[in-house]
Amino acid sequence: QAASGGGRAALRACGVHNVCRLLTRRAHGFYARDAGVAHRKNLGLLRKIICQESTKFKNVWTTHSASPIAYERGRIYMDNYQCCITSIAQQPRLIYQKSKCAKSEKIEDALLLECPLGEMLPSPSDYKASLVVLTVQNWLLRLSADSGEVLEKVYLAGSCCKFFRYLSWDTPQEVMIVKSAQNKLPAAARQAGIQQTVLFYLAVFQVLPLSFIGMLEINKKIFGNSVTDVAVSNGILIVMYSMGLVRLYNFKAILEQFMEQPFDLGQEFNWNGQVGVVGKYPFGLPCNIKIT
């Protein structure tokens, strides 16, 4: 045991520099026990391959943008996602350039969707990569990654929430979260002593085909007065507090336990005094998950 322990210590001390050996160790699961280790090892492999002393780099392309430049799996997006350039070719080339959009159509956030393997999808366009974008006017749009054409559109904001701003993955390429900005009362309401209890709204979608799972609110009455932020990742609802506390909840259990009524996109509904079509303007999405 001491000899084997000494051998491991010696291996750690000298390090494994051979790329083939590192790949073999990764395949055998040497790096699977700690969160983030596999990702760090993969980056280390990439560095060993491309950062050799004999490697030479040359500048093949330069561009400038007044707005932030986004990158998604071989595609460079500029001008608020109006311009798409492929970075896979030897020299980047334009995929599409959309006409300048109005401020009301400004894109707040985006995620790239890719076709799941081995599944039958309802539309031929579902088998190609697409970009889901969130606009300033609370529209969730699915665009063709090759042309920028609008394939689907969902209106998010009903009577409950007016400002959706963030897209993220719960389960990558399977379940998507659309998060609102933090709700803030007008100054006059705050001066009148009115308390804001609902801080955030989360809309949950299954992707490809795009389907609505439900919407829930993060309420101070349920989670406490010191809530500052919230996120969802890998089936966990993560609630953050001002004193540095983080609470983790089973998100799947919340969806199952507190779902009042399921709704499908395009479904006509008459619920809690609201009449409309799910995902259509001006009704948007119902807040059908009520945590008690």
> What is the pLDDT confidence band of residue 14, given thresholds at 50, 70 and 90?
very low
Half-sphere exposure of 131 (CA within 13 A, CB side): 28
Rg, C-alpha atoms of the chain: 24
- Summarised one tens digit per residue, pLDDT across range 81-110 is 999 999 887 888 999 998 888 877 889 999
Please give the distance of CA 90 from its chain centroid, rounded to a whole number: 29
pLDDT at 10 over 70: no
pTM assigned to the model: 0.78
More confident residue, 36 or 228: 228
Single out the residue of 67, 61, 126 nearest to residue 94, CA to CA: 61
> What is the pLDDT confidence band of residue 123, given thresholds at 50, 70 and 90?
confident
Q: CB neighbours (10 Å) of residue 110?
A: 17
> What is the pLDDT confidence band of residue 275, given thresholds at 50, 70 and 90?
confident
- Measured between alpha carbons, how far is residue 199 from residues 160, 192, 240 in Å? 11, 19, 12
- Summarised one tens digit per residue, pLDDT across range 135-175 is 999 999 999 988 999 999 999 986 556 689 999 999 988 99
Q: Per-domain residue ranges for the chain?
A: 19-51, 156-291
* Alpha carbon distance 197, 64 (integer Å): 43
Q: Quote the percentage of the chain above a pLDDT of 70.
A: 85
More confident residue, 38 or 173: 173
Please give the distance of CA 33 from its chain centroid, rounded to a whole number: 25
